[in-house]
Amino acid sequence: MSESILNLNEVAVFQKDSMVLNDITLEVKKGEFVYLIGKTGSGKSSLMKTLYADLPLLEGHGRIVGFNLKTLEEKDIPFLRRKLGIVFQDFKLLPDRNINKNLMFVLKATGWKDPVKMDTKIEEVLDKVGMKTKGFKFPHELSGGEQQRIAIARALLNDPEIILADEPTGNLDPQTSVEVMKVLQEINKAGRTILMATHDYALLLKYPSKTLKCEGAKVFEVVQKAV
């Protein structure tokens, strides 16, 4: 049995005072690639935010990478996030510095000290996403797809146990989406767990995998029919 990396039991997700999702029970195991689908406004992002402790878990029980989301204290959130890789739709790269310095900023912020180790790590993650030669470029000099690859590289810096990708192809054209998807697939094949929120059904058909759906305030597993 592969170990569980994410476990939710009878969880309700709140955005301010309103309940967005209710009675969620799900498990993601180590090494899985799991889609989270649903219409805009169905609660995908709110669920993701609960997983990386941007929204507090008020109801139910949840554990991710060994942290209890219900009892998580403010001071422990940075430690939780070091074990998660988070990829957003809008890249969130710092525009005033080049890619290497963007990645260096994250390493310093998460407690890295040794410059040689930091340089080696940056080179390693850029290589994994096929962007080894782009470290000296600024974000605005890169295409959307390239920026998203950098965002994925950034998510890999602290060797996360799971990557939470929230609509990572949401701002990209279909061809670029496929390229970014291939990068995520490679990372998953190397043993990394990925939970990816998306409303791009074309990707699901092209790269079928376990799929959870947000609909009517619930989250349930969808059995994909053979096409």
pLDDT of residue 226 exceeding 60? no
Mean pLDDT within 131-143? 96
pLDDT single digits (tens) 173-205: 999 999 999 999 999 999 999 999 998 888 999
Identify the pLDDT of residue 40.
84
Identify the pLDDT of residue 89.
86
pLDDT of residue 224 exceeding 70? no
Reported pTM: 0.93
pLDDT of residue 36 exceeding 70? yes
Closest CA to 125 of 97, 145, 106: 106
pLDDT of residue 227 exceeding 60? no
The residue type at 146? E
Mean pLDDT within 88-93? 88
Question: What residues pair up with 13 in beta bridges, in sequence order?
Answer: 21
Please list, in sequence order, all residues whose beta carbon lies within 8 angstroms of the beta carbon of residue 129, skipping any fewer than 6 positions away: 149, 150, 152, 153, 156, 183
Structural domains present in the chain: 4-222 (3.40.50.300)
Work out the pLDDT band at 225, boundaries 50, 70, 90: low
The residue type at 139? P
pLDDT of residue 2 exceeding 80? no
